[in-house]
Each structure stands twice: as structure tokens, then as C-alpha cells.
Copies of this chain bind each other. A is one copy, B any other.
């Protein structure tokens, strides 16, 4: 049980649900909605309903999947809010993974210029990543999170009971952000987790708490991504490009799977450009390839990946900025590698 203070709001990990009920009751909302997809409707909503007094809550259902995270789905959500008589004194509870949280938060913030929302992330990925930082939004024309805003929720409620509803692949996807948080900021945590070979039967709560705290520390230093916050992008510059490129694949990569690849590639570039030691790079690569499959064929469209890189919203004046490891637990930002180094990193991954 832990409370992580993020200035304007708090993240609760495995706290008693009565606390959440109190937060909701205190605000006397005019209406309360719960946004779910068909998965969280089946697996998470029953848990949620058992814990809270939800007779008056209106359930808003959307289809699951990253491909639904677009403006058309926002129109569906806004329409539902309108039809059910929501107003700016209402509350939307986003019960689900990153798509639900990002898009539900965006819809809440923009409906009547802003109503309250509470995030209840139900995947490991959204618990350790999307739950802190206030980034909300949707994909647009193949670009991830191109449209969005930054705004904090009323509160974030994490319960590791929800993780029991997840497939192993989903757990693995979330774990990538835990690895990232350790690599950029906590070398000691890296030493502890890199011996974990099996993600079954892990007591996630303390790991989530530590991971969320790292992110909180970074984000509170820099809310609008002017500086240090950029270190959270480690693994994400190439990772996002690969994820975008694979969005319409028969079997799209999950976010964390793409970030796993991205971290290997960017650790390679870190070794080439900064002082990351060769042995630490090998360690990172081997560990990630022990947890995740080796997705060689996903990097075949090298040119498309490089083109996607140039459209990354973190760019300035067409330069592609990377966040790279100076050493374990220490990350630099705004580093611009040559295209040849980027290509070498892709080749190194494919030839492993």
C-alpha cells in the first residue's frame, strides 16, 4: 500500500477502495461515467463494481485496441457524454489500459472545455507509464499521440488485482517501461530486475511503486517536456517509429514490445556516441532478448522507419533528438546521431 504524491494529484497503489469512494463522494459530481472497452468491461468492471457503490454510474463502452484511439472514437465518447447529460461538473473514470486512459482523458478535458477524470489503469503498462505525466491524446493519420493535451487527473488509482486479468504478453509489454525507468534513473533497480527471468508470480506492487516514483520524480521536475523529462523517451524514438510502422501489421507489436526493440537500438547508439560501456550494452541487449522475442523481420522496412522518425513530435527543425544512456541509471537528452549510426543499430539488432 503506497501513496505517491504528484503535486496536484496522488497515485494510490493497492490502497483500500474506500479511499477512492471518499474522493469521488467529496466532489458531488453531477454525473459519473466509466469508460471501458469490451475487455475491461468483462474482466475489470466486475472488480470495480464490487469495490465501489456504482449504481448511478453510466458505462460508456468502446472497442479495444490502439486502432480505435482516434478522433472518430472521441466523437462517440463525446456524443455519449452529451446524450447522458454530462456537464463540466461531471466525472469520467477511465477503466482500462493506455488507450482508455489517453483517449478518455482527452475527451474529458475537451468536453465543455474540461470535466474531471480519474485514471484507473488496469494494465501493467498503463500503471507504470501512462498513470503519471498527464499526457493525453489520440493517434492521427498513423502518428501516435499526434493530437492531445497535457492535463492532470483528479487521481490515479492502481490495484494489482487488475493485472490478474492480463495475458502474459500484456504483462511483458508493461515490463518494458519498468526496465526503462531502471535504466535511465536507478542502476540499483536495474541490477535487481535483470535477474528476473520469469514474469509469473511476481509481487508487482512494490515494483510498480518504485517505477511510478521514478517517473514522478522526472515529470515533476519538468512538466512541459522542456528538458529532463525527455529522458523518459529512452527507447521511444526508434521504438515509436517501429510501433507506428507495425500498426497495420497482421499482428501489431504491443507498445512495450516495440520499446524493447527501441531500447536495444538506442543502447547500441548510446554505446557508440556516449560512454555506455560495451558490456552494459550487451547486458541490456541479452536481457531484453531473454524477455521478448527477437523481432528481426519487423525491422525490414528500414526506410519507412527512418521516415517515421522524422515526423516524431519530439523533433525540432527536422533534427531527430534521442535520449541516450551515459551509463546505467543516467540518461542524456537532445543527442542527435548520424543516420549511419541509426542504420548500424538496426543492423546490429537484426544480425544478433
Q: Which residues of A contact B (CB under 8 A)?
A: 30, 71, 74-75, 78-79, 82, 85, 87-89, 109-114, 135-137, 140-141, 143, 145-150, 224, 311, 313-318
Contacts and interface: CB of A to CB of B under 8 A. Distances in A.
Contacts of A316: 30, 87, 89
A1 B294 CA distance: 66
A149 B89 contact: no
Given A78-B140, A82-B311, A110-B110, 8 more contacts: A71-B74, A78-B147, A82-B141, A82-B146, A87-B316, A110-B137, A113-B149, A113-B313
A19 to B, nearest CB: 25
Nearest to A146: B112
A305 to B, nearest CB: 18
A225 to B, nearest CB: 8
Contacts of A141: 78-79, 82
A147 B111 contact: yes
A44 B147 CA distance: 29
Contacts of A317: 30, 87, 89
Q: 6 smallest A-B Cβ distances: which pairs?
A: A112-B313, A113-B148, A30-B317, A89-B316, A110-B147, A87-B315
Contacts of A30: 316-318
Task: Give the oligomeric copy count.
Answer: 2
Contacts of A136: 113
A78 B138 CA distance: 13
B137 A113 contact: yes
A148 B110 contact: yes
A88 B150 CA distance: 13
B318 A85 contact: yes
Nearest to A313: B112
A135 B143 CA distance: 27
Contacts of A315: 87
A59 to B, nearest CB: 20
Contacts of A85: 318
A314 B112 CA distance: 8
A320 to B, nearest CB: 11
A32 to B, nearest CB: 13
Contacts of A147: 78, 110-111
A148 B78 CA distance: 11
A111 B149 contact: no
B112 A149 contact: no
Contacts of A78: 140-141, 146-147
A160 to B, nearest CB: 29
21 contacts: A30-B317, A75-B140, A78-B140, A78-B141, A79-B141, A82-B141, A82-B143, A85-B318, A87-B315, A87-B316, A87-B317, A89-B316, A110-B110, A110-B148, A111-B147, A112-B146, A112-B313, A113-B145, A113-B148, A113-B149, A114-B224
A336 B12 CA distance: 39
Contacts of A146: 78, 82, 111-112
A102 to B, nearest CB: 11
A288 to B, nearest CB: 28
